[in-house]
Amino acid sequence: MAAEKVDPVLKERCKDLILDLDTLREISRRFLHDVDKGLRKDTHATSIVKCFVTYVQDLPNGTENGKFLALDLGGTNFRVLLIELSKDHFEMRSKIYAIPQHIMLGSGEQLFDHIADCLASFMKQEQVIAETLPLGFTFSFPLTQKGLTKGILERWTKGFNCSNCVGNDVVQLLKDAIARRGDIQIKVCAILNDTTGTLMSCAWKNPNCRIGLIVGTGSNACYVEKQKNAELFDDEDKGSGNVIINLEWGAFGDDGALDFIRTEYDRDVDANSVNPGRQLHEKMISGMYMGELTRLALEKFTKEGLLFEGKASDALFTRGKFYTKYVSEIEGDPAGVITSCRDILEELGIYHATDQDCFNVRYVCECVSKRAADLASTGIATLLNKMNEARVTVAIDGSVYRYHPHFHDLMMQTISTLVNPGIKFDLMLSEDGSGRGAALVAAVACRTQQKG
| pLDDT for residue 77 | 87
Q: Tell me whether residue 110 is in a domain.
A: yes
Sorting pLDDT into bands at 50, 70 and 90, what band is 237?
A: low
Q: Are 5 and 337 in contact (CB under 8 A)?
A: no
Which secondary-structure segment (H or E) carries 414?
A: helix 407-418
Instruction: Give the chain's domain count.
Output: 1
Mean pLDDT of 344-352: 97
Residue from 169, 194, 357, 432 carrying the catalytic annotation: 194
Angle of helix 339-347 versus helix 355-387 axis, rounded to 10: 100
Residue from 30, 47, 58, 140 carrying the catalytic annotation: 140
How far is the C-alpha of 60 from the C-alpha of 48, rounded, in Å? 31
| pLDDT for residue 251 | 96
Name the percent of the chain lying above pLDDT 70.
Answer: 97
Highest mean pLDDT among 156-160, 202-206, 226-230: 226-230
Residue from 28, 30, 79, 273 carrying the catalytic annotation: 79
Does 233 have pLDDT greater than 70?
Answer: yes
Task: Tell me if residue 295 is catalytic.
Answer: no
Tell me if the pTM is above 0.85: yes
Note the pLDDT tens digit of each residue in 377-391: 999 999 999 999 999
Q: Tell me whether residue 199 is in a domain.
A: yes
Counting beta carbons within 10 angstroms of the beta carbon of residue 2, is it exposed (0 to 12), middle (13 to 18) or buried (19 or more)?
A: exposed
Selected residue with higher pLDDT from 127 and 447: 127
Sorting pLDDT into bands at 50, 70 and 90, what band is 1?
A: very low
| pLDDT for residue 438 | 87
Does 194 have pLDDT greater than 90?
Answer: no
Taking CA atoms, 308 is separated from 294, 351, 360, 403, in Å, by 15, 9, 10, 28
Does 3 have pLDDT greater than 70?
Answer: no
Mean pLDDT of 26-55: 96
| pLDDT for residue 229 | 95
Note the pLDDT tens digit of each residue in 49-58: 999 999 999 8
Q: Tell me whether residue 17 is in a domain.
A: no
Q: Tell me whether residue 165 is in a domain.
A: yes
Q: Are 399 and 222 in contact (CB under 8 A)?
A: no
Range of the structural domain that residue 110 is part of: 56-206+432-444
Q: Are 336 and 4 in contact (CB under 8 A)?
A: no
The dihedral sign for the CA sequence 42, 44, 49, 55: positive
Q: Which of 145-149, 318-322, 328-332 has the lowest mean pLDDT?
A: 145-149
Mean pLDDT of 411-431: 96
Note the pLDDT tens digit of each residue in 69-118: 999 897 888 999 999 988 777 888 999 999 999 999 999 999 999 999 99
Q: Can you give the CATH number for the domain in which 60 is found?
A: 3.30.420.40
Write the CB contacts of 124 (distance below 8 Å, at least 6 apart in sequence): none
How far is the C-alpha of 406 from the C-alpha of 58, rounded, in Å? 33
| pLDDT for residue 435 | 80
Q: Tell me whether residue 16 is in a domain.
A: no
Q: Which of 156-160, 226-230, 447-451 has the lowest mean pLDDT?
A: 447-451
Task: Tell me if residue 194 is catalytic.
Answer: yes
Mean pLDDT of 393-421: 97
| pLDDT for residue 236 | 64
Q: Tell me whether residue 358 is in a domain.
A: no
| DSSP strands (E only) in 316-446 | 391-397, 424-429
Selected residue with higher pLDDT from 74 and 21: 21
Mean pLDDT taken over the chain: 93
Mean pLDDT of 117-136: 94
Task: Tell me if residue 369 is catalytic.
Answer: no
Kindly write down the DSSP assignment for every residue of 183-233, as one continuous string: S-EEEEEEEE-HHHHHHHHHHTT-TTEEEEEEESSSEEEEEEEEGGG-TT-
Q: Is 36 helix (H, G, I), strand (E, B) or coil?
A: helix
- In a 13 Å sphere around the CA of 155, the CA atoms on its Cβ side amount to 11
Q: Tell me whether residue 178 is in a domain.
A: yes
Does 172 have pLDDT greater than 90?
Answer: yes
| pLDDT for residue 411 | 98
How far is the C-alpha of 430 from the C-alpha of 3, rounded, in Å? 33
Does 309 have pLDDT greater than 50?
Answer: yes
Write the CB contacts of 89 (distance below 8 Å, at least 6 apart in sequence): none
Q: Is 81 helix (H, G, I), strand (E, B) or coil?
A: strand
| pLDDT for residue 353 | 97
